[in-house]
Structure 1
Amino acid sequence: MISRRNFLTTVALGTASAAALAACGSPAPAQTGSAANPVTINYTWWGNDDRATRTRKAIALFESKNPDIKVNGNFTDFAGYWQKRATEAAGGGLPDVMQWDLSYLRDYGQRNQLLDLGTVKIDTSGFDKSLLPSGQIKGKTYGIPTSTNAFAVYYDPAKLKSLGVSEPDGSWTYDEYKSWLKEVGAKGNGTIFGSTDFTGIWWQFNIWLRQNNIEAFTEDGKLGFSKDDLKTWWNMASDLRGTPALVSEERATQLAPKSPFGSNVTVAENTWDNFMAGYLADSGAKELKIVPVPSDDPDNLGLFLKPSMLMVASAKTKFKDASARFIDFMINDPEVGQIFKTSRGVPASKTQRDGTTFEGTDKIVVDYEKSIEKYLKDAPEPPIVGFGTLEASFKRISSDLNFGKLTVDSAADAWFKEAEDLIKQNA
């Protein structure tokens, strides 16, 4: 089996209930269908219109190859997605198959709301063995990665040229990165800003912790960093807030659901490399580029390959076999790889990678991951229970900080109180 590293180099780049139903004269639901009478499974995902278009193409392809199964698909934005899943889980009605994020895997997996995919037939022979544990909890497989991604700084070269600002090469310290944002803001004439506040992004904070050899979480589910660490992080942008280096929180809120970068209001954005297709679609830009995030240690960029998303199934699905066939198709089929390219990240399955051609912007993403290969560290395991809530509160409190409602000290106090309370509840 080809390893992830070699690939990147090569491309240069319930029984009782059934009995009760039978006693009442109602047949148990069919596990499989036929072309004349197909079973229907529900599939849901998050994303923008570009991902929706690609996903619906993949669903149509699956249905054409599996006429005994119909897929009812729907999607929403990331924030609304998890609100719906929480409501469904409380009512016992999660969809059969779901796109999933690593942040929420432990929450639902440990509460027995997700199907152990090791109990159904899904081919994982084409996956790097170091990647599969990201979807496993206590020996059970609850999620299988569709793809991988890495964190990066996006920028629009055309906007930089129009402003007379040099393109970055990605070998920069935080001070150099901040100076670059200040230069962009100063030349943007109040219409073009540097970026959003990079300190308000949990994963950028996580990377900074890794750059300083600090764990985000300990093995026993506690915080691995101190309140002073968080204050240091949020203070890094104190001299940028309220200046053209960063777009204001008020302006960013007005632009939602599009990002300021996708709305052509900022020159740069820190996020995952698989956002390329979505940003191009939102902004209409002819070209976007990506470089590594800043680091004060040139030998430690704190970067890693993260499952950009996973496929999971409901523990209560009545159609385990059909759900497993759909998951297997979405993660392994070469034609699905051709549909998504790198919009979900670089395909995690060798079978899918080998059937996918990477050109243009997709090649940029693959080449970027090759360029940071020597800096990559082990990917994190599924975060602690409640992490999704902690990540959301990190964003919300950062927003209050940017609105001027909180000081750095009070913001750190507020987040730590929420974090410690949540950890205590789930202990």
Structure 2
Amino acid sequence: MKRFRIAVAVAASAALLLAGCSSDPEGPRADFDPNAAVTLDLAFWGNDTRAGFYKNAIAKFNEKYPNITVNSTFLGFPEFWEKRQIEAAGRDLPDVMQFDYAYLRQYSQNKLLLDLKPYLGKYIKTDGFTESTLGIGVVNGVTTALPIGTNAWAMFTNTALLSKAGVAAYAGGTSWDEYATWMDSVKKAGGGSVWGGSDPTGRIQNFEITLRAGGKNLFNDAGEPQFTKADLTDFWNRGAHVRGTGATIPTKRLLEVAPKSGFGAGLTTSELTWDNFGAGYAGDLGIDASGLAITAPPATTAGAKDLYLKPSMLHAISANTEHPEASALLVDFLLNSKEAGTVFGTNRGLPASSTHLAGVQLDPLSQKILDYESSIKDRLGQAPPVPVVGYGSIEEKFRQLGEELGLGTVTVAQAVDQFFSEMETILKK
């Protein structure tokens, strides 16, 4: 029967893949027997290393719940989501899933994920989460997922390269103009071989935190843009000014070292990105954590709550699970237990739950990330609404246009018009 449902799903058109309704339980059943024998399907993306971690974590879970059998499967990231879409069409999703933020709105709006609120506190402990991290997986007022780990927008600096250039480290949290001045000082000291950074207006996240400093998000919960063409024009014009000084690495030079970033290639001394990118940079540069520093990005308005915690990944439960209570117990263990923290370490990101984090032995780089996130607590605001469907394409269009602005192949006015046209097309799909 299961094979038949999947065959039907494969034949369905792409437009209907996520159009199914659900039989979402109204909440925990009064007659739930925690000792009854049940079998759960758990799906995650990753590699053999992560699969080994899950196997060990499930063994620890079974020490506490020997009656719950957990069958786990994993795939690479693209294949994982291809399979989920097929299962979604047949309303046959696994009981428990590792989940990606980019897909959360799509699956939530199509009623494919369990409303977790009735299970919070009783089956899934919330003591280890802050109010803001609990709100990360809320779509249209419904909690459909909980974060496994978090990361925040940050600035990495290459301390060895700065020392070689004889330039003091960036202080962190200054104004954007002061950051531009600092980048210019690096460029002058570098003599044409090292730059202070790349054009910050090429990343939509820098535009986002600029908007958040004024009390707006990129999109509201209804998926409507909260910025105007004038907002984006002003932002990209600032980039033109910085590029005009030569303080940032030329876009042509960046294209020459791609797919590495200018920072990963050792050509820039700073990079604005998510704080979990450190391991990749260390690998690209062939250095350890001592060669990297993490500090706060520039601020548009002093005292603004412009930064936020974003999930590295989440856990969700299928709305059609026959065992919502047992699934909730498994999610609780994977998110909150010290035992699971000891098993996974930071493989799934810096743990969002403090009780999970208590079991983790942090490596030097992870400790720097933890210290960084503690240092920006006063700038952390509520997470923005879960990304709109198609956000990845919108982000990529923003990046491409930033690149074209750097090459001088479009004007700011042309780039703004192109971005809004593309965004409106994506949002209408």
Shorter-chain TM band: 0.7 to 0.9
Q: Contact between 2:105 and 2:386, CA under 8 Å: does it hold in 1?
A: yes
Aligned residue identity for 2:56: L
Query: How far apart are 1:414 and its partner, in Å?
Result: 0.9
Indicate the residue corresponding to 2:218 in structure 1. Answer: 216
Q: Contact between 2:251 and 2:403, CA under 8 Å: does it hold in 1?
A: no
TM-score (norm 2): 0.75
> Would the alpha carbon gap of residues 137 and 338 (structure 1) be closer, same or farther in structure 2, given more than 3 Å must change?
same
Indicate the residue corresponding to 1:31 in structure 2. Answer: none
Q: Secondary structure at the match of 1:61?
A: helix
Indicate the residue corresponding to 2:21 in structure 1. Answer: none
Q: Contact between 1:106 and 1:137, CA under 8 Å: does it hold in 2?
A: yes
Say which is worse superposed, 239-248 or 228-237, in terms of deviation.
239-248
Q: Secondary structure at the match of 2:76?
A: strand
Indicate the residue corresponding to 2:204 in structure 1. Answer: 202
Counterpart-to-counterpart distance in 2, 1:297 and 1:421: 32
Counterpart-to-counterpart distance in 2, 1:175 and 1:279: 26
Aligned pairs for 1:97-176 within 5 A: 98-117=97-116, 122-176=124-178
Say which is worse superposed, 267-276 or 376-385, in terms of deviation.
376-385
Aligned residue identity for 2:105: R
Say which is worse superposed, 55-64 or 165-174, in terms of deviation.
55-64
Query: How far apart are 1:122 and its partner, in Å?
Result: 4.1
Query: How far apart are 1:135 and its partner, in Å?
Result: 0.8
Query: How far apart are 1:211 and its partner, in Å?
Result: 1.8
2:421 to 404, 417, 420: 417
Is the aligned partner of 1:333 residue 2:328?
no
Q: Secondary structure at the match of 2:187?
A: helix
Indicate the residue corresponding to 1:72 in structure 2. Answer: 73
Q: Secondary structure at the match of 1:131?
A: helix
Query: How far apart are 1:322 and its partner, in Å?
Result: 7.7
Query: How far apart are 1:163 and its partner, in Å?
Result: 1.2
Say which is worse superposed, 350-359 or 170-179, in terms of deviation.
350-359
Query: How far apart are 1:229 and its partner, in Å?
Result: 0.8
1:61 to 56, 65, 70: 56
Aligned residue identity for 1:354: A
Is the aligned partner of 1:246 residue 2:227?
no
Counterpart-to-counterpart distance in 1, 2:367 and 2:412: 40
Counterpart-to-counterpart distance in 1, 2:215 and 2:172: 21
- Flag structure 2 segments of 5+ consecutive residues without an equivalent: 6-38, 63-68
Say which is worse superposed, 373-382 or 338-347, in terms of deviation.
338-347
Q: Secondary structure at the match of 2:239?
A: coil
2:310 to 303, 306, 313: 306
TM-score (norm 1): 0.75
Q: Can you list the C-alpha shifts for 1:327-378, whole angstroms capped at 9, x where unaligned?
A: 4343123244345555655422232122234463322222222222222222
Say which is worse superposed, 381-390 or 222-231, in terms of deviation.
381-390
Q: Contact between 1:57 and 1:339, CA under 8 Å: does it hold in 2?
A: no
Is the aligned partner of 1:270 residue 2:269?
no
Q: Secondary structure at the match of 1:134?
A: coil
Q: Contact between 1:145 and 1:309, CA under 8 Å: does it hold in 2?
A: yes
Counterpart-to-counterpart distance in 2, 1:342 and 1:140: 28
Is the aligned partner of 1:389 residue 2:388?
no
Aligned residue identity for 1:248: T
Say which is worse superposed, 81-90 or 182-191, in terms of deviation.
81-90
> Would the alpha carbon gap of residues 261 and 333 (structure 1) be closer, same or farther in structure 2, given more than 3 Å must change?
farther
Say which is worse superposed, 158-167 or 188-197, in terms of deviation.
188-197
Q: Secondary structure at the match of 1:238?
A: helix
Q: Contact between 1:63 and 1:70, CA under 8 Å: does it hold in 2?
A: no
2:296 to 286, 292, 296: 292
Query: How far apart are 1:270 and its partner, in Å?
Result: 0.7
Q: Can you list the C-alpha shifts for 1:206-240, whole angstroms capped at 9, x where unaligned?
A: 10112233342345432211101111111222144
> Would the alpha carbon gap of residues 144 and 86 (structure 1) be closer, same or farther in structure 2, given more than 3 Å must change?
same
> Would the alpha carbon gap of residues 208 and 82 (structure 1) be closer, same or farther in structure 2, given more than 3 Å must change?
farther
**What is the percentage of aligned positions where both structures have the same residue?**
35
1:260 to 259, 262, 274: 262
Query: How far apart are 1:146 and its partner, in Å?
Result: 1.0
Query: How far apart are 1:410 and its partner, in Å?
Result: 0.9
- Flag structure 1 segments of 5+ consecutive residues without an equivalent: 1-13, 19-37, 46-51
Counterpart-to-counterpart distance in 2, 1:81 and 1:266: 35
> Would the alpha carbon gap of residues 298 and 350 (structure 1) be closer, same or farther in structure 2, given more than 3 Å must change?
same
Q: Contact between 2:139 and 2:221, CA under 8 Å: does it hold in 1?
A: no
Q: How many residues align?
A: 383
Say which is worse superposed, 360-369 or 54-63, in terms of deviation.
54-63
Query: How far apart are 1:280 and its partner, in Å?
Result: 2.5
Counterpart-to-counterpart distance in 1, 2:83 and 2:394: 17
Q: Contact between 1:194 and 1:247, CA under 8 Å: does it hold in 2?
A: no
Say which is worse superposed, 413-422 or 310-319, in terms of deviation.
310-319
Root mean square deviation, CA, Å: 3.7
